């Protein structure tokens, strides 16, 4: 990984958008700082479209899409996207409501088995705002031992579910999307952007294991200094500062390079 200061100016000028993770990337342990939030406005002023790409629930995405200076929010690790169309909030979900209801019943059964076998598992505090998955807290308010997280993921797979792990959550789902596929589908729906072109003209910044798909999919990829896990394809650039300060550092570099 190269320092973000080495981002070429022509690469920054070739970008049309920035995709960014929330937890431990834009947010500092769940809180939004002034420098990171201000950076969104500077990025927007430089001509970039902005899309949040997160494991957080669709309920969060609905609020952020309404209030933040962004074009939309890809939530639940790619399964559900929210965006404004004029003054109307739209939701993009490849699964119809009847199938969603069926999947929610099955996920509830799987979750009950997981909690019976591994009593240490605790739900995250945002599960009520979710559409496509169930999420356990493994590092946000309760730190769960790594071997128990591995055990839960293995058992979920045996029961027919997929799991995705972030720095704070273990997600259990029956959906097949990941952050990259969900984001590319959203960009195509929103602007008709060809998926191959989207990979070249959008940068992604993240921090954890569930960002691996985006680190692999996009050309310009950035990790904040607190990057965790061991992604198969690491980001090309890394900031010197962690969390929201790292996001602000990356944003400042991109804006400065685009202005040259």
| Strand, helix or coil for residue 98 | helix
With a threshold of 0.85, does the pTM exceed it?
yes
- SS3 call for 99: helix
Q: What is the pLDDT of residues 116-143, one digit of tens each?
A: 999 999 999 999 999 999 999 999 999 9
> Please, what is the Cα angle at 184 between 36 and 95, to 5 degrees?
110
- Which residues are within 8 A (CB) of 85 and not within 5 positions of it... i.e. 6 or more apart? none
Place 230 in a pLDDT band, splitting at 50, 70 and 90: confident
Domains assigned to the chain: 2-93+177-259 (3.40.50.1000), 97-173 (3.90.1070.10)
Contact residues for 118 (Cβ-Cβ < 8 A; gap 6+): 148, 151, 152, 155
Written as one string, the DSSP assignment of 22-45 is IIIIIEETTEE-HHHHHHHHHHHH
For residue 203, pLDDT over 80 is answered with yes
Contact 134, 156 (CB under 8 A): no
């Amino acid at each position: 990984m190269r320092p973000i200061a080495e981002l070429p100016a022509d690469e920054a000028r070739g970008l049309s958008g920035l995709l960014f993770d929330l937890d431990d990337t834009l947010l500092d342990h769940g809180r939004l700082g002034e420098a990171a939030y201000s950076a969104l406005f500077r990025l927007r002023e430089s001509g970039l479209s902005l899309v949040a790409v997160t494991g957080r629930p669709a309920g969060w995405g609905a609020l952020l899409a309404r209030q933040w200076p962004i074009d939309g929010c890809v939530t639940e690790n790619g399964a559900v996207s929210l965006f404004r169309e004029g003054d109307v909030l739209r939701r993009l979900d490849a699964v119809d409501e009847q199938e969603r209801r069926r999947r929610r019943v099955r996920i509830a059964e799987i979750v009950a088995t997981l909690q019976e076998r591994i009593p240490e598992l605790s739900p995250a505090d945002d599960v009520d705002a979710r559409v496509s998955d169930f999420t356990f807290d493994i590092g946000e308010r309760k730190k769960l031992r790594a071997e128990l997280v591995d055990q839960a993921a293995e058992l979920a797979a045996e029961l027919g579910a997929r799991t995705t792990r972030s720095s704070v959550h273990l997600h259990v789902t029956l959906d097949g999307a990941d952050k990259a596929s969900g984001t590319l589908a959203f960009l195509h729906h929103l602007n008709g952007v060809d998926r191959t072109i989207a990979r070249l003209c959008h940068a992604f910044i993240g921090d954890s294991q569930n960002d691996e798909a985006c680190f692999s999919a996009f050309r310009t990829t950035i990790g904040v200094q607190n990057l965790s896990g061991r992604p198969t394809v690491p980001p090309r650039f890394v900031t010197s500062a962690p969390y929201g300060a790292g996001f602000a550092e990356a944003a400042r570099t991109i804006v400065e390079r685009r202005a040259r």
